[in-house]
Structure 1
Amino acid sequence: LRTINADPGNISQVLESLFSWVISGSANDIIGNVYSVLTNTFSLLFSTLISIMFAVIVLFNKQTVVKEGFYLMRAYLSKKRYAKTVHILSLIRNTFTSYIGGTCTECIILATLVMFFASLFQIPFAFLAGILVGIGALIPMFGALAAAIIAALLIAVDTPIEGLYFIILFICIQQVEGNFIYPNVVGKSVGIPPIYVMIAVTLGANVAGILGMVFFIPIFSCLYQLIKEDASKRIEIKDKKEGLLNE
């Protein structure tokens, strides 16, 4: 009513102004925006549902898919390329399995520690805070801290001083977790220096957002190990050639 400048007490004026507003095309923008939002939402839900169904089907038939994949590689690749491809696929499988398993384990440990100590110090919403921190820890580097800040704000709504206490408690827990738990649970599965982890997280965030931050670390780990193996072989070949030349 404010948009069409109509007097709510005069029904005829309201109807006339509303009809003029629709005729002028102003309603098309609203209808178009609503249609676009609904279309995008249903498209996203449909794509997600199809992806989950396809993933479940592949999971139940993984032995057949893997067997036929290796069969085709043996048929169309040379023996040397086949061995190299199998090695790369095994490296990718082991790296991703170790990284995802280690990350999930670390998230559960961190969530349990937050729940336990928050409950021990009688901080409200201890269970909710632990769940938030555990989910946030799936995102490398800053995910757990961001989740802890959100949890602290929720706690501060009830008791402001308790929100501050929770942040202090989380910092203490994260120091122990980062120095003792994370290197043993996740660090060994990654196998790359910390500087490369930061590069992987930065590139992943720019390329694919949160999913990129999560999955670029094992991708970088695979590339790092493959380049390291190739460099070692090249150095070994050069050393042999130099040794033959010296002889």
Structure 2
Amino acid sequence: PQVRSLTPLLVVLGTVAVAQDSLLNVCMDAKHHKTEPGPEGQLYGQCVLWKDNACCTANTSVEAHQDQSYLYNFNWDHCGAMPEKCKRHFIQDTCLYECSPNLGPWIDQVDNSWRKERIRDVPLCQEDCEQWWEDCQDAVTCKVNWHKGWNWTTGTNQCPKGAMCQKFKFVFPTAAALCEQIWSGSYRYTSHHRGSGRCIQMWFDPAQGNPNVAVAQYYARGNAPPNSPLSILLALLPLTLLAPL
């Protein structure tokens, strides 16, 4: 009997390995991101968690804490002052987005004037979503999706005409609604817990290391989201094995 050549299989396996590694330790192609992650000893405030390996600069980390920063001219207080206990979650969300080098498995291509890539369906740990909702339920907003639909005529976001300001708990009736809807699907609510290795932590103790490194590795190596380039490549692998000699 003929012996099947292993060359096509090895090529595919090599391609898979390269695709997996390309999802790890990377920065998005977006407005304020560095091209490659690296140490940033002077990161400010809540962004300091990523100082050992960050996609953000020190200046970006400072601006992430401003009520209305030059990053995106976005005003958290569009329906009145946002409570500090709520605002800290949005600061942390900004720090994760701008600084984390561990979001590669969820990077998606977009064609915006201010970024070429975004994140989609990042699996957030249950505690992170629940605490975010708990601390923000009495904050006030006029929109479900904060990515689009604002009135920008003044140069900063204002509620669109006719939009009513309501408490978060009425706009986002559950923690899942908040995490999944506010940034148009950037995050996905999960039942996984912090420390499980299956969900991204917005909050962690840097003295214990960055737990999101292992999470990115888990999803990059065989657990990629459906329809991602890696998952499609893995789906084609059996066809390579069955190909005629």
TM-score range (shorter-chain normalised) is 0.3 to 0.5
* Higher strand fraction (1 or 2): 2
Determine which structure has greater relative contact order: mean sequence separation of CA pairs < 8 Å that are 6+ residues apart, divided by chain length.
Answer: 2
* Higher helix fraction (1 or 2): 1
